[in-house]
Amino acid sequence: FYSLTFQVDVDGRVRVFHGLNRVEKQFPWYPPTLLDKQHLDNLQSWGFNVVRLGMMWSGVETGPYEVNNTYLSIMDGIIDSLGKRGIYVILDMHQDVLSSKFNSYDGAPLWLVNSLPKTKHAYPWPLKKKPSNWEENYIAYAVGEAFENIYNNASGALDHLIFFWRTVAKRYGQKYNVLGYELINEPWPGNTYADPLLFLPGNAGSEHLLPLYDKLASAIDQVDNQTMIFYEPVTWGMILTGKTLGSGFTHVPGGDKMRERAVFSYHYYCWFAGSYDKNPFPAWLRALCDHLFFPHVIESVAKDTSATGGGMFLTEFGLCNANAPKNSTEYQECLSVLSTTDMAGLSWTYWDSEFYLSNGSVNTENVKLFSRPYPMALEGQLLLSQFDSASKVYTLNYLPKQNSTTYIYVPAIHYPNGFNVTIPSDCKSSNDGAGFVKIYCASISKPLASVLIAPKK
């Protein structure tokens, strides 16, 4: 793969990815569900072709430069099992608040955090007690200082993060379905008490994150010069643009030679909605989230990647429950994200699936929401991909190449009685019976190809 606004493969086909996150935040550090054959088969049948898979630093490096090969072997099996089903993986070094020392989990190994220089103010200062909400732990001085120490390689902490990524890249770089390496999830800007200007996302990006990413990308490139590099700003660094209010990234990790391998990873949660789960979804809040905030985030990320090169990928959004009333905030928020990304042909991995009920049975309503028709591989220029979840009508408009083949995933769950396919006269279609419609266009009398998929009555 190489990356532009869309992910484009070596054959020049636009690739669109729909998938989910699977991160195990405690020992044994791998998601047990991905060892279950039926679960994997379900992911494939629902049209998911990517998993953002937690590759946990604590699982890999159990002591200074000590590698847990048992963990890596289990991850080998998970990645291979997904690959057999045509599912790619983004290996994600996931963390939230860095450590169990800070009322979280060990995104960084506990032995490493314990080795850092003694903090000026013990956790949870300036808080009087541990907060109940995990995000509030970022207020603690010790958390920001720990991040600062990693960025500055105090106690050799950055050397260990480089070792982690070299170990992972050397082992998994040859697997065809490893789409990319996500260098760190939702990084904190550093010690904001020592330097409050780090709260400006551009400062955090330019002073700490980009130098970190350059080092990590260079180390990965020494053992794997093919796999894509996914990188994030601070969580508020994808809302605006500019030197101080934007991401702060003036180039992709590793510099210009890595432009075709770099992917800007961005997250979207409508902070204005929060836990405001109302029925019906208030019109003012819908307008703020769906018509202003989310499109603005996409535009900001697109401007960043246009300036630096590389692609963009929505690696987190949610949390949703399609069993909520269809006009509730919770349901409509996710429907809007899915519809907007469909229209733009953007790739995504949803954060929290809820695809199973507490009794282990499939949550059919949630599957119906997230399992959608879309062009997994398209030869040509994508113009419009739109699915109407009410009528079940799917529309694809694109400019096909001559002698081109496009694969559209069509989920059976929306078409219990089958479906009809309308295509341009220059093209032919076939249904492989496994959820894919193949559109082959030999010659092109009209530049625009429009494909319509509708349920049989």
Tell me the one-letter amino acid at 106: D
Name the strand (E) or helix (H) holding 151: helix 141-151
- CA torsion sign for 16, 21, 22, 23 is positive
**Secondary structure of residue 92 in the 3-state scheme:** strand
Q: From the CB of residue 222, how many other CB atoms can be counted at a distance below 10 Å? A: 11
Give exposure, 405-441, as e/b (b: 16+ Cβ within 10 Å). bbbbbbbeebbeeebebebbeebebeeeeebebebbb
Q: 180: which strand partners?
A: 90, 228
Say what the pLDDT of residue 444 is: 76
Chain centre distance of CA 311? 12
Listed in sequence order, the residues at least 6 apart from 93 whose beta carbon sits closer than 8 Å to its beta carbon are 55, 56, 57, 107, 161, 164, 165, 181, 182, 183, 184, 185
Q: Is the peptide bond before 28 cis (omega within 30 degrees of 0)?
A: yes
Length of the chain equals 457
Q: From the CB of residue 160, how many other CB atoms can be counted at a distance below 10 Å? A: 21
Task: Please spell the DSSP secondary structure of 351-366, one letter per residue.
Answer: S----B-TTS-B-HHH
Phi, psi at 78, each rounded to 5°: -65, -45
As a whole number of angstroms, the distance between CA 181 and CA 172 comes to 10
Say what the pLDDT of residue 346 is: 94
Q: Would you write out the chain's pLDDT as a tens digit for each of its 457 residues?
A: 434 455 677 778 899 999 999 999 999 999 999 999 999 999 999 999 999 999 999 999 999 999 999 999 999 999 999 999 999 999 999 999 999 999 999 999 999 999 999 999 999 999 999 999 999 999 999 999 999 999 999 999 999 999 999 999 999 999 999 999 999 999 999 999 999 999 999 999 999 999 999 999 999 999 999 999 999 999 999 999 999 999 999 999 999 999 999 999 999 999 888 766 788 899 999 999 999 999 999 999 999 999 999 999 999 998 777 788 888 888 899 999 999 999 988 999 999 878 998 899 999 999 999 999 999 999 999 999 999 999 999 999 999 998 999 999 999 999 999 999 999 888 999 987 668 999 999 877 778 999 999 999 8
Nearest to 56 by CA among 206, 188, 147, 185: 185
Nearest to 220 by CA among 261, 176, 269: 261
Q: From the CB of residue 355, how many other CB atoms can be counted at a distance below 10 Å? A: 22
Cβ atoms of 237 and 201 within 8 Å: the answer is yes
